[in-house]
Amino acid sequence: MIPIIKPYLDEKELEQISQVLSSGFLTQGPKTLEFEKIVAEHIGSKHAFAMSSCTTALHLALVVLDIKPDDEVLVADFTFPATANVVVQLGAKPVLVDIDLDTFTINLQDLENKITKKTKAVIPVDAFGCSADYDEILKITNKYNLPVIEDAATTIGTTYYERYCGNLTTMGCFSFHPRKVITTGEGGMITTNDDDLAEKIKLLRSHGGVKKGAWFEYEAAGFNYRLSDVLGAIGVAQMHKLSYLINRKRELADELSQRLANIPHVQLPTNPKWGGHIYQSYVILLDEKINRNKVIEAMKSQGVETTIGTYALHDQPFFQKQFGYKTGQLTNSHIAFTQSVTLPLYPQMTASDLDRVADTLKVAIASA
């Protein structure tokens, strides 16, 4: 079986973990701090705070913006449910926004159309290693004085006009899940240049406690969203490999695109005009006359693992029951949800692996 992804791990991660185990300091500590510093320096942000996941990062980002019940937060619809779940968990309303099919990122016209007096924040979503169009997004949000939280789960190392994702808006939130370009197993990070927000994040990430002498005083009802030093150590090793991993994925994506170029009914991923795509996932879009689910099953039967791109939230039962959305209401997101396919792409792939993926896809489409 050719899997969708294989994390790229070697003795460097073991060396970093060994240092932590030898120190006896297993909770959030010096290795996590080192990981934070490396990420902040890489993307150019003033502050970086390691978190237990991207989900907790997004949740805490909303908390420090003081999102309240009945507030509205605009969320790109084509995303993993966590992006909108964190809004719901604060009692606020996620207002789902359609996407563009060329980049799978938020549609600017639909974004502006859905801003109301209740709108308190916007969460665009970077898709599969491709940045959203932040200059244009900020032109809109600045008119309404709205903060922007970049869901940069897939874009550590991605650039937008040569500027790094996670350092483009009010706050950025990364994921280090095993399907991402670098991984800590589970883990995430918030980045920001806002000193006041940084102080709030620092306080609330760890129970709301402030060190006063030999003990803490608890100034807020905070959370336990910390990242352990064991996972921080993996992050340190992975960040040292980031440039190689991105270059390798771009090389493989180009080679796979060459192999798929003449297969009918397939839209290949493209690097947008602002550049910087890192191909965290290689996601194609099939013509609507092709049965996407049959393609996935046919490829699986031949030993090539694939899956959907991600979810159209407005098509999901919870968002329909809770907020009244109807299937297909957000047209482009619905098409992306029903017709996208994620193909295998990871640094260890060989030329024969790429050949097999392309050949298997061609046969699967012909029979779908």
Instruction: Provide the annotated active-site residues.
Output: 180
Q: What is the rounded CA–CA span in Å between residue 118 and residue 116? A: 5
d(CA 205, CA 62) in angstroms, rounded, equals: 13
Amino acid present at 18: S
Beta bridge partners of 50: 189
Residues 6+ apart with CB under 8 A from 359: none
Distance of CA 297 to the CA centre of its chain: 26
Cα→Cα distances 353→265, 269, 296, 305, 367, Å: 22, 19, 17, 12, 21
Q: How far is CA 154 from CA 70, 158, 182, 200, 269, in A?
A: 29, 9, 10, 25, 15
Q: Which residues contact 121 (CB under 8 A, 6 or more apart)?
A: 62, 65, 67, 71, 73, 74, 146, 147, 148, 149
Nearest to 366 by CA among 287, 259, 304: 287
Q: Is 152 exposed, middle or buried (0-12, 13-18, 19+ CB in 10 A)?
A: buried
119: helix, strand or coil: strand
